[in-house]
């Protein structure tokens, strides 16, 4: 509604209209359904009811009544479970048709909402579903639903490839498919799923050759239909999504949801059509801001935008048993909202029971509401100690700049990076400029994610890209192992992209968000061919879990890390003092050069726990005069 006075959506507007009743949407009961929509600017709102989610005509229509604080409501008698609906909203003299932004279910491609009795969407035993106990360490594995099983080598039947069902399917003997066996055996403690809410960038009834990462929100509180076996039935996608989460829990993994509350796929969204002008940021001249790089920014900081996001998070945690939330472009959210989410989850589920972390950046500037601060990297000291951020400084120090393929990092020939690598290993507890973490719990250590080049492709391109992406080249394997070794011996949380453990390649595609599924898929034959690298990652995961000195998430990590030393370009070492009754110490060295390097150990009896051949061993160290030789392009960890 471009003729609205957008400057009126200020704090006084929020004081007048903000609604926290918690009952917006379609509240089903067997005898009646109550429909409520927040639309303070509306002059009229009408409800339309349908037998299906497609092209049929409405079988009933009725007006909603205006209540307090801009809420419109209607009561429809009878059992409406499975009935579809939408609204017609007239505001500022213009009329728009809209689905319900608060809907819990929808039809194919999300254009019509659906009334749902959520108890009928639960798979067998879901009422007793619970995550495995909080793990000793947070090791997060980033996974895309379609990537996971699109490859026939996944062992998943064709009709379930790329679907939610791939996670829960079993053969006649009750065995899971190859992809699920791999995931279960790897030892990760959290699976972070790229967006699984309903997104707009694929046709849910279209070809299986379509692909998108899913950062295009359409219906925030409904699972994506293209991952369901029947996107036209609003119940199926909910049940199969719950089956996936239940299966991951049963296999020992907690589930993190990648959420995108910073923008919507289209500016003409259900939020905009239901409450024209309110939910999007604008500059003083009335133009839309574009801090997301996607054409619009949600007006986080306004009362109802914050309320919408908070309630959506709590809904997924409650209804789907989600164990954590990764916030896309968290720098477009506010410190105040992110902390509020953290504290609300703690209040309902217990401190630290749910993970909260995100990207501490944005694509461009965005106007903030008065009295709010963006949740950017340089505001980490304002965030709760149990809100974490992806540390791009650590990522780039280890492998090189993520945007420039030819720029190396520590493991592949970069110069002058020793101090940065040591600061990374300390969880940045000493800070850097205005980046001052409060505790190691705030740091996500990683070397690859869905964005930019895979680790293997980055190392290949940086080396000149003269070999095939498909070949397990020795030099690149050594660099890959060292990059993982460094990441897994840093203080903080551990994160890896699915397939990193077997040299995942996208053939040099640095932005595969809508590339073909054949480019994006996990190649399960490659997982077998790169089995030695898989074993090394599996060992690193076991090692990490066994070392409390690395798993601690408090603010004392910087004090425990002593004797930091840059021996020369490409060679560093440090000690970790655990303290406590055992008084155990760790000694860690990284040698990224092409030559052996001898380092004198501190006094004491040392056991070799990890090197470039075995990252989970207990071998008494025999050396002359406490000197140890670290092999080329490798790491070494010893325990005393």
Query: What positions carry a catalytic annotation?
Result: 328, 359
Measured CA to CA in angstroms, residue 56 lies from 49, 112, 225 at distances of: 10, 11, 19
Cα 351 from Cα 353, distance rounded (Å): 6
Cα 197 to chain centroid distance, Å, stands at: 12
Cα 230 from Cα 244, distance rounded (Å): 15
Cα 192 from Cα 210, distance rounded (Å): 22
Task: Dump the DSSP string for 450-487.
Answer: SSS--HHHHHHHHTTS-S-TTS--HHHHHHHHHHHHHH
Cα 25 from Cα 311, distance rounded (Å): 12
Nearest 5°: the CA angle 274, 278, 279 is 85
Strand partners, 25: 36
User: E strand or H helix at 319, and its extent?
Assistant: helix 303-319
Question: Residue 188: CB partners within 8 Å, gap ≥ 6?
Answer: 139, 140, 141, 253, 496, 541
Cα 629 from Cα 636, distance rounded (Å): 9
Cα 190 from Cα 174, distance rounded (Å): 24
Measured CA to CA in angstroms, residue 94 lies from 1, 62, 85, 279 at distances of: 8, 19, 20, 18
Cα 115 from Cα 106, distance rounded (Å): 8
Measured CA to CA in angstroms, residue 419 lies from 217, 372, 448 at distances of: 41, 34, 21
Cα 455 from Cα 448, distance rounded (Å): 6
Query: Looking at residue 22, what DSSP letter applies?
Result: S
DSSP collapsed to 3 states, 618-637: CEECCCCCCEEEECCCEEEE
Token digits of residue 402:
């993520």
Question: Residue 556: CB partners within 8 Å, gap ≥ 6?
Answer: none
Query: Roughly what angle, to the nearest 10 degrees, separates helices 392-399 and 474-488?
Result: 150
State whether the Cα torsion 234-235-237-238 is positive or negative. Answer: positive
Which segments within 166-297 are labelled E, that is strand? 190-193, 197-199, 217-223, 254-259
């Amino acid at each position: 509604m471009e003729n609205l006075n957008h400057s009126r959506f200020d704090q006084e507007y929020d004081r007048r209209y903000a609604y926290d009743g918690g009952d917006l949407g379609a509240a089903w009961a067997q005898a009646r359904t109550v429909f409520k929509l927040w639309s303070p600017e509306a002059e009229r709102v009408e409800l339309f009811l349908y037998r299906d989610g497609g092209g049929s005509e409405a079988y009933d229509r009725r007006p909603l009544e205006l209540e307090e604080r801009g809420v419109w409501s209607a009561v429809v008698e009878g059992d409406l479970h499975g009935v579809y609906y939408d609204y017609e909203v007239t505001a500022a003299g213009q009329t728009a048709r809209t689905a319900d932004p608060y809907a819990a279910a929808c039809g194919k491609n999300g254009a019509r909402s659906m009334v749902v009795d959520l108890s009928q969407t639960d798979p067998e035993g879901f009422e007793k579903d619970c995550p495995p106990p909080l793990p000793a360490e947070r090791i997060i594995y980033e996974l895309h639903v379609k990537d996971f099983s699109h490859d026939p080598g996944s062992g998943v039947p064709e009709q379930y490839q790329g679907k939610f069902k791939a996670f829960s399917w079993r053969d006649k003997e009750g065995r899971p498919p190859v992809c699920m066996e791999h995931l279960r055996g790897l030892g990760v403690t959290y699976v972070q799923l790229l967006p699984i809410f309903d997104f707009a960038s694929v046709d849910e009834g279209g070809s299986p050759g379509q692909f998108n990462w899913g950062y295009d929100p359409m219906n925030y509180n409904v699972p994506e239909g293209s991952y369901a076996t029947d996107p036209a039935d609003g119940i199926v996608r909910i049940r199969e999504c719950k089956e996936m989460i239940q299966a991951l829990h049963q296999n020992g993994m907690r589930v993190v949801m990648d959420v995108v509350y910073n923008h919507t796929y289209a500016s003409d969204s259900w939020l905009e059509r239901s409450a024209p002008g309110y939910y999007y940021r604008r500059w003083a001249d009335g133009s839309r801001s574009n801090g997301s790089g996607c054409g619009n920014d949600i007006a986080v900081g306004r009362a109802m935008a914050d309320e919408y996001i908070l309630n959506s998070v709590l809904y997924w945690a409650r209804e789907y048993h989600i164990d954590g939330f990764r916030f896309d472009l968290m720098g477009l959210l506010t410190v105040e909202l992110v902390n509020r989410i953290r504290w609300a989850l703690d209040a309902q589920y217990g401190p630290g029971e749910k993970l909260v972390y995100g990207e501490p950046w944005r694509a461009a500037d965005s106007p903030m509401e008065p009295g709010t601060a963006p949740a950017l990297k340089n505001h980490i000291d304002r965030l709760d100690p149990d809100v974490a951020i992806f540390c791009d400084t650590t990522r780039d120090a280890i492998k090189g700049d993520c945007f420039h393929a030819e720029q190396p990092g520590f493991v592949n020939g970069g110069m002058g990076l020793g101090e940065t690598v040591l600061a990374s290993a300390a969880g940045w507890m000493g800070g850097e400029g205005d980046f001052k973490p409060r505790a190691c719990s705030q740091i996500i250590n990683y070397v690859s994610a869905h964005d930019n080049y895979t680790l293997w492709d980055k190392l290949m391109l940086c080396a000149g890209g003269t070999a095939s992406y498909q070949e397990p080249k020795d030099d690149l394997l050594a660099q890959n192992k060292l990059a993982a070794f460094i990441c897994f011996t840093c203080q903080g949380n551990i994160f890896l992209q699915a397939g990193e453990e077997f040299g995942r390649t996208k053939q040099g595609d640095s932005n595969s968000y809508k590339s073909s599924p054949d480019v994006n898929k996990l190649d399960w034959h490659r997982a077998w061919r790169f089995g030695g690298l898989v074993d090394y990652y599996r060992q690193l995961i076991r090692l990490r879990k066994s070392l409390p000195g690395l798993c601690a998430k408090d603010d004392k990590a910087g004090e425990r890390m002593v004797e930091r030393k840059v021996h020369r370009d490409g060679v560093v070492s440090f000690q970790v003092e655990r303290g406590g009754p055992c008084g155990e110490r760790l000694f860690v060295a990284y040698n990224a050069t092409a030559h052996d390097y001898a380092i004198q150990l501190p006094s004491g009896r040392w056991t070799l726990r990890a090197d470039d051949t075995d990252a989970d061993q207990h071998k008494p160290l025999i050396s002359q005069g406490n000197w140890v030789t670290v092999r080329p392009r490798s790491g070494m960890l010893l325990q005393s």
